[in-house]
């Protein structure tokens, strides 16, 4: 028995191994971000962002059906297309959406290099 084999000597389990790979995107993470975006004050609609070839490849790799999510993940860039309610100032709404998406991604231990928010409709 090795001197370093603590488990056998003490009979206790070691902490779970740290994942060797960073967390990856999942449909659940995208759905969670969609949900928080829709809760941002001033957001009236969440439209389907236009996918790029890169985003389609990413979606297939992480197992997200491209046509299901309204968000598009293009590498580490998240693209969001919204409509605002016409009352809240649209630039402030876009900023709040960016912040909410970034925070929710972080909660899922996911890193985004950028969040592109596109306002396609006001009011």
**Quick one: CA torsion of 115, 118, 31, 86, rounded to 10 degrees?**
130
What token pair was written down for 27?
A: 């449909």
- 10 or 113: CB nearest other proteins: 113
**Quick one: CA torsion of 76, 77, 80, 81, rounded to 10 degrees?**
-150
- 59 or 115: CB nearest other proteins: 115
Spatial distance between the Cα atoms of 111 and 101, rounded to a whole number of angstroms: 11
Closest distance of CB 4 from other proteins, Å: 43
Count of residues engaged in binding other proteins, rule: CB under 8 A: 26
Among 7, 9, 23, 45, binds other proteins (CB under 8 A): 45
Name the H helices within the chain. 6-10, 27-39, 53-62, 90-107
- 31 or 47: CB nearest other proteins: 47
Q: Which stretch binds other proteins (CB under 8 A): 12-20, 32-40, 45-53, 56-64?
A: 45-53
Nearest to 56, CA basis, from 46, 66, 45, 48: 66
- Rounded to 5 degrees, φ, ψ at 39 are -90, -10
Q: Which stretch binds other proteins (CB under 8 A): 4-12, 32-40, 52-60, 85-93?
A: 85-93
According to the binding rule CB under 8 A, does residue 11 interact with other proteins? no
What residues line the site for other proteins (CB under 8 A)? 45, 47-48, 81, 83-84, 86, 89-91, 94-95, 98, 102, 112-123
């Amino acid at each position: 028995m090795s001197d370093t084999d603590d488990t056998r000597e003490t009979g206790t389990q070691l902490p779970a191994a740290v994942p060797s790979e960073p967390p990856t995107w999942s449909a659940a993470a995208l759905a969670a971000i969609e949900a928080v975006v829709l809760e941002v004050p001033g957001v009236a609609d969440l439209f389907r962002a236009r996918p790029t070839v890169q985003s389609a490849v990413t979606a297939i790799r992480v197992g997200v059906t491209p046509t299901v999510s309204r968000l598009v993940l293009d590498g580490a860039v998240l693209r969001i297309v919204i409509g605002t309610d016409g009352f809240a100032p649209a630039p402030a709404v876009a900023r709040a959406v960016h912040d909410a998406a970034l925070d929710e991604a972080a909660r899922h231990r996911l890193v985004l290099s950028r969040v592109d928010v596109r306002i396609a409709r006001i009011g």
